[in-house]
Amino acid sequence: MHPGVIAFWTGAVLAAYILAGYPLLLAILARFPAPAIQRRPGCRPVTILLPVHNGARWIRRKLESLLRLDYPRHLVQIIVISDGSTDDTERIVSEFAADGIELLSVPRCGKPAALNAGIQRATGEIVFFTDVRQPVDPACLASLVECLNDPSVGAVTGRYIVLDGETNEEASVNLYWRFEWWIRRQLNRASSLLVVTGCVYAMRRELVVPIPEDILVDDAYLPISALLRGYRIYYDERAKVYDYPTALDTEFQRKIRTLAGLLQLVGHFPVLLLPVYRQWGHFLSYKFARLLLPYALLLMFAGSFALPGAIGWYTGGAQAAAYALAALDPLIPERWRMKRISSLARTFSALMLATICAARVFFVPARHLWRPTTNVRPANSRSRSAVGLD
């Protein structure tokens, strides 16, 4: 058989499994769910860690949402770790000192080091990790703690709700997140999550280990360390945080960081690639295989022209047309119907390119892959006020 034909079918089978086969398999497995966790009411001492660098734009709203939590205030320690902030972040936080909010100012050293500093000061039995941008629903913390009252649960994450966007680009990014959360819900029913959402997760204090200072995904490193010790990572849809939609360039940079962090994670925990723990197949199919998807598509494209007759030109031409449509998307007016399709093509292509760019972690210092979220544009005013975002 011609090497090009082999390349095409290798890429086609791999891409089909990643995009359709595994989600279908996961949906089937979810029909035979793992034992339900035992949610148990009961409040325990909690430390909330909020690392921030130059977050003056959001910090007041965030702290006000934390003070509105439906949880006994005397059981909550709130620590804001200012990672070398040079704007008004620390001044604003100091205004909340009378409410018991602690400010821990550290030299600019990155999120993992800032979290390590906060972890050393934490006194709670449970540590709740969150970020500055997303307001927290009042019931969020109590719901997370109820899940952690089950001794089999080592970490629990909440529901990250992205408000509806106003552009097709934002809608396409939101569609990606909807698919991502569908995958996580099925995985949660079938077995256990593999990672958590960095802006809303909680862990038992005794399971929180020091974080390597070059790690790009603390929200994967900490839960994976608990997972490999036999604990379950649970997804609690009742624990909610809210965020504005982000533009594609912001999502592109975030994706580079998270996928580069996945490569780091395998370096720190090579056992993840070995069949020695229950979630091994899910990790390979859901997380690791995503790193291979753009290369599978490239194999399909390169090998398509070795197929007999016009079949190769049709298959290769279809891919080329999709990429051309993605490239033209910025030029297509928002009001055109074609914009919906072109935005989807552009979003998909950008995520594939981000996957390839993630390999930069092997060649540049990890800190160079950090990019702050700079484009957080409000959606409609009704949605903002409904969740306290005004």
Q: What is the pLDDT of residue 174?
A: 77
Distance CA 244, CA 292 (A): 30
Distance CA 308, CA 299 (A): 16
Beta strand pairing call for 46-52 and 101-106: unpaired
Q: What is the pLDDT of residue 387?
A: 43
In 3-state terms, what secondary structure has residue 240? strand
Kindly report, residue by residue over 284-301, the tens digit of the pLDDT. 999 999 999 999 999 999
Quickly list H helices, the chain: 3-16, 22-29, 56-67, 89-94, 111-121, 140-148, 168-190, 218-227, 248-268, 280-282, 293-304, 311-328, 338-357, 381-386
Q: What is the pLDDT of residue 173?
A: 78
Distance CA 385, CA 390 (A): 5
Domain definitions of the chain by residue range = 1-32+249-374, 46-247
Q: What is the pLDDT of residue 178?
A: 85
Kindly report, residue by residue over 312-354, the tens digit of the pLDDT. 888 889 999 999 999 999 999 988 888 889 999 999 999 999 9
Q: Which residue has the higher pLDDT, 295 or 244?
A: 295
Kindly report, residue by residue over 75-100, the tens digit of the pLDDT. 999 999 999 999 999 999 999 999 99
Q: Which two tokens stand for residue 140?
A: 């969020």
| The model scores a pTM over 0.85 | yes
CA dihedral 230, 231, 233, 237 (to 10 degrees): 140
CATH topology of domain 46-247: Spore Coat Polysaccharide Biosynthesis Protein SpsA; Chain A (3.90.550)
User: Would you say residue 386 has pLDDT above 50?
Assistant: no
Kindly report, residue by residue over 148-206, the tens digit of the pLDDT. 999 999 999 999 988 766 677 777 777 788 888 899 999 999 999 998 999 999 999 99
In 3-state terms, what secondary structure has residue 50? strand
Q: Which two tokens stand for residue 64?
A: 């006000």
Distance CA 101, CA 77 (A): 7
Q: Which residue has the higher pLDDT, 247 or 149?
A: 149
Distance CA 46, CA 203 (A): 10
DSSP per-residue codes, 325-340: HHHHGGGS-TTSTHHH
Q: Look up residue 136 and give its DSSP letter.
A: B
Q: Which residues of 238-256 are buried (b: 16+ CB within 10 A; e: fewer)?
A: ebbbbbbbbbbebbbbebb
In 3-state terms, what secondary structure has residue 362? helix
CB of 137 closer than 8 Å to CB of 350: no
Q: Which residue has the higher pLDDT, 217 or 251?
A: 217
Under 8 Å CB-to-CB from 318, ≥6 apart: which residues? Answer: none
